[in-house]
Amino acid sequence: MKLLRIAPFLKIGLCLQTLLVAGCAGSIDESNGQLEHHRPDHKPPTFPAAVEQLAQRHERIVVESHSNEAGALERELHEQMDIVNWLPELAADSALKKQDWEQVQTASKELLNIYQQVDATVHGSPRGEWPAAVSKIPPIVETLTRLVPRSTDQL
Partner 1 sequence: MWEAIIWGACLRFAQASLQASPFIFTGLCLAGLFHRLMGQQHTRWLFGSNTVASLFQSWVIGMLLPGCSLGVIPIVKQLRRSGIAVGTIFAFALSSPLFDPLSMLYGLTLSKPMTILAFAFCSLIVVTVSGSIFDWMFPDTEVVVEEPPPTPHGIKRLLAVLVVMARETVGGTAIMIVCGLLGSALLSTLLPPGSLQRTMAHDNPYSPLLMTAIAIPAYATPMTAMGQLGSMFQHGNSIGAAFILLIFGAGMNLGLLLWMIVNYGWKKSLVWMGLMLAVVISFSYGIERPLYPTEIEPADHTHAFDIYCQPFQSNASPAGGYPAEILRRIKLETQPHEWFGVVLLVALVALGLILRSLDRTWVIETWLNRPSEIREQSTRKTWDLVVPGPVLAGVGLVGIIAFSIVGCFAYYPSPVETLEELNLAKTEALSAALNGRSEHALHWIPICEGWNRRLQVGAYLRHGRLDEYHRMKSRVLADHLELLEHMMENQDPPEEIRKQVASTSRAFGRLSMAFREELR
Q: Which residues bind partner 1 (CB under 8 A)?
A: 2-3, 5-6, 9-10, 13-14, 16-18, 20-21, 23-28, 30, 33-38, 40, 85, 88-89, 92-95, 97-98, 101-102, 105, 153, 155
Please, which residue, 132 or 155, has the CB nearer to partner 1?
155
Question: In a 3-state reduction of DSSP, which class is residue 45?
Answer: coil
Residue 108 phi, psi dihedral angles, 5° rounding: -60, -45
Instruction: State which residue, 84 or 114, has the beta carbon closest to partner 1.
Output: 84
CA distance 127 to 123: 7
| Min separation Cβ 107 and partner 1, Å | 14
- The least CB distance from residue 41 to partner 1, in Å, is 13
Of 104 and 134, which has the nearer Cβ to partner 1?
104
Distance, CA of 131 to CA of 124 (rounded, Å):
13
CA of 35: how far to CAs of 21, 28, 41, 78, 114, in Å?
20, 8, 17, 27, 36
> Cα separation of 110 and 68, whole Å?
27
Q: Which is nearer to partner 1, 92 or 120 (CB)?
A: 92
Provide, rounded to whole angstroms, the least separation between the CB of residue 125 and partner 1: 25
